[in-house]
Structure 1
Amino acid sequence: MTVLDRTGARTGAYGSVLASRIADGPGGYTGVVGDGQWAAEIRRLADLRNATVLAHNYQLPEIQDVADHVGDSLALSRIAAEAPEDTIVFCGVHFMAETAKILSPQKSVLIPDQRAGCSLADSITADELRAWKDEFPDAVVVSYVNTTAAVKALTDICCTSSNAVEVVASIPEDRTVLFCPDQFLGAHVRRVTGRQNLHIWAGECHVHAGINGDELADQARSHPDAELFVHPECGCATSALYLAGEGAVPEERVKILSTGGMLDAARETKARQVLVATEVGMLHQLRRAAPDVDFLAVNDRASCTYMKMITPAALLRCLVEGADEVHVDLETAKLAQRSVQRMIEIGQPGGGE
């Protein structure tokens, strides 16, 4: 038996049985187990659609394992732009799929559940940024890539967590800088650059902000020989540097890293244990990169509900129905692409967020 969906993708007998089980609930699509048969069906449907499947580092392990490419959002968007396939399935949150569309305007970009938002991207709107710019008309706006397309369109230069310091340092010292939206990354940039004319928007990722300094200190005391991998979006990033400065943890063991930077450091570490302060989905890739190292979450409850909305059922639905397509209007995309391109020209972003 072969089932033709409304867009023409052919679903085999097993796929049609799977699709019939999909249920939509408040936390996303459910009813399908991400097992080997599911993975084979996902790969078959991706081939039928001429699609490449991208998965962010914070996705569920089964989503990461079935994807063609796994990484941070900007690296994946750049892969999408170069991929020969004409359809991109972005397993991540909505702003990430938007960025892929900005860099690949001629391709169809799908996200398995368009309701997968981002508390950090939502912490500043285009209207709020426009009003902030009116207060500082001569300022240079630097926005983290974890922002909407509309915010990127009002931005002078985008940045990632791995090159935010480099981007800000490239701006003449006498120019005021407006940095948004993440206050913890902004504080990290100010601390490293020493720049006083850097104004920081009070936004945050609720998951990273919830990884606090007390938890980090307790874990460091309980694992005295462990290295610390700390994402600069975390509320505990300052605490990590304080622990190093006070000698509670040897300075060389404290590493403030983007997700891509964590993977590089994992492959090089000589430590037996590493405490990781970021969203827990990252542990899957770290353990694959260095299987002999014991990676432990500083906060094992640091799981992004939005990221986890990309379930096996959601990905199957996406490939069967061609849903949900992401659109960015041409003028917004053109302006947003310019701010991303300026960042790339300053320095290769490497591991993005």
Structure 2
Amino acid sequence: MALKDIQEEIIRLKKENDICLLAHCYQSPDILEVADFVGDSFALSLSASKVTNKTVIMCGVRFMAETVKILSPDKKVILANADAGCPMAEMMDKELIEQVKEQYPDYTVVAYVNTTSELKTVCDVCVTSSSALKICRSLDSDKILFIPDKNLGSYIAEQIPEKEFKLLSGGCPTHARIGMAEVKKAKEAHPDALFLVHPECVPEVVAQADYVGSTTGIMDFAKKSDAKEFIIGTENSIVSHLQLACPDKKFYPLSKDLVCHNMKLTTIVDVLNCVKGIGGEEIELDEDVRLGAKRCIDKMIELG
């Protein structure tokens, strides 16, 4: 089948089978073109909770599909590619954080939304990269245990010096492996370009940025800016998306290695198989886990 034929069949089957299709920004353009909602992970989960479709397909990674299920327990939730995980979400578990909490009993546990549903059950509040600063500032506690991303945690801690942060050694391996050598090389090659970076990058890289923000924040900034050239310090799919959205501007990857291989697992044929009912994996959560994780997410909604 030609790509256009596959996309048309997906659109037809979505309508026929009452399906809502979610696609994270890091997905490829052929998938984004057939999605009902495109965006960051938590925004997608909120969108899914407001639609009437009986089935939701997540083109992203496992923790994102879990968040959809947490907020939409009555919907059938499918992860388009069962092997699409998130190394950051999987590097800390419930048992580890319970042990850390015993060592720091007076700390409020703030969990980046990029965590498993089970881990969220022992945390106090979730945050996204765009809401973390506001939520951490609004907490009554002056002591914060921020997990799992130490780079995002460090970025937030610098802006709230009146609070004490405890950070563990975790983070996004895709963003964290990029260092100052790549920044220097990119800036020398494109001296007139603004540098836009995700706070999951290491602090010395973030310190060089003209703008720091979430994936959608980076995209919105670039689209609205009067500047004509940009170095993009997040997953490289955003470079191609911005090139399509703003053909009058130039976008350059910070590094050819800024690639999330888990996000790249999902293909347009995976999506086709899902809408046919023969692909993906249905996400099922124990109700105690779902409610425990939802408490953490509800607190985020309340504060942020």
Q: Which TM-score band (shorter chain)? A: over 0.9
User: What is the distance in 1 between the residues matched to 2:180 and 2:160?
Assistant: 23
Match of 2:205 in 1: 239
Match of 1:213 in 2: 180
SS at match of 2:33: helix
Counterpart of 1:313 (choices 257, 265, 269) is 269
User: What is the distance in 2 between the residues matched to 1:162 and 1:189?
Assistant: 10
Match of 2:235 in 1: 279
Match of 2:60 in 1: 92
Question: C-alpha deviations, 1:76-95, integer Å up to 9, x for none?
Answer: 00000001211100000000
User: What is the distance in 1 between the residues matched to 2:215 and 2:300?
Assistant: 18
Cα shift at 1:292: 1.6
Question: C-alpha deviations, 1:44-103, integer Å up to 9, x for none?
Answer: 121122001110011122111221111000000000000121110000000000000001
Cα shift at 1:116: 0.6
User: What is the distance in 1 between the residues matched to 2:87 and 2:248?
Assistant: 34
TM-score normalized by the length of structure 2: 0.95
User: What is the distance in 2 between the residues matched to 1:55 and 1:333?
Assistant: 22
After TM superposition, the structure 1 = structure 2 runs for residues 1-353 of structure 1, keeping only pairs within 5 Å, are 35-172=3-140, 175-195=142-162, 197-235=164-202, 237-241=203-207, 243=208, 254-320=210-276, 321=278, 323-347=280-304
Please tell me whether the aligned partners of residues 226 and 275 of structure 1 are also in contact (alpha carbons under 8 angstroms). yes
Same amino acid, percent of matched pairs: 36
Cα shift at 1:313: 2.1
Largest Rg, 1 or 2: 1
Where do 5+ consecutive residues of structure 1 fail to align? 1-17, 19-32, 245-253, 348-353
Cα shift at 1:195: 4.5
Cα shift at 1:196: 5.3
2:147 corresponds to which letter in structure 1?
Answer: C
User: What is the distance in 1 between the residues matched to 2:88 and 2:10?
Assistant: 30
1:279 corresponds to which letter in structure 2?
Answer: E
1:338 corresponds to which letter in structure 2?
Answer: R
Please tell me whether the aligned partners of residues 266 and 289 of structure 1 are also in contact (alpha carbons under 8 angstroms). no
2:101 corresponds to which letter in structure 1?
Answer: K
SS at match of 1:120: helix
SS at match of 1:150: helix
TM-score normalized by the length of structure 1: 0.82
1:303 corresponds to which letter in structure 2?
Answer: V
1:143 corresponds to which letter in structure 2?
Answer: A
Cα shift at 1:289: 3.6
Cα shift at 1:138: 2.1
User: What is the distance in 2 between the residues matched to 1:144 and 1:342?
Assistant: 13
75-84 vs 40-49, greater mean Cα deviation: 40-49
Please tell me whether the aligned partners of residues 272 and 292 of structure 1 are also in contact (alpha carbons under 8 angstroms). yes
SS at match of 2:230: strand
SS at match of 2:101: helix
Which runs of at least 4 in structure 1 moved beyond 2 Å after TM superposition?
Answer: 237-240, 283-291
2:171 corresponds to which letter in structure 1?
Answer: E
User: What is the distance in 2 between the residues matched to 1:287 and 1:67?
Assistant: 19
User: What is the distance in 2 between the residues matched to 1:51 and 1:195?
Assistant: 47
Please tell me whether the aligned partners of residues 52 and 88 of structure 1 are also in contact (alpha carbons under 8 angstroms). yes
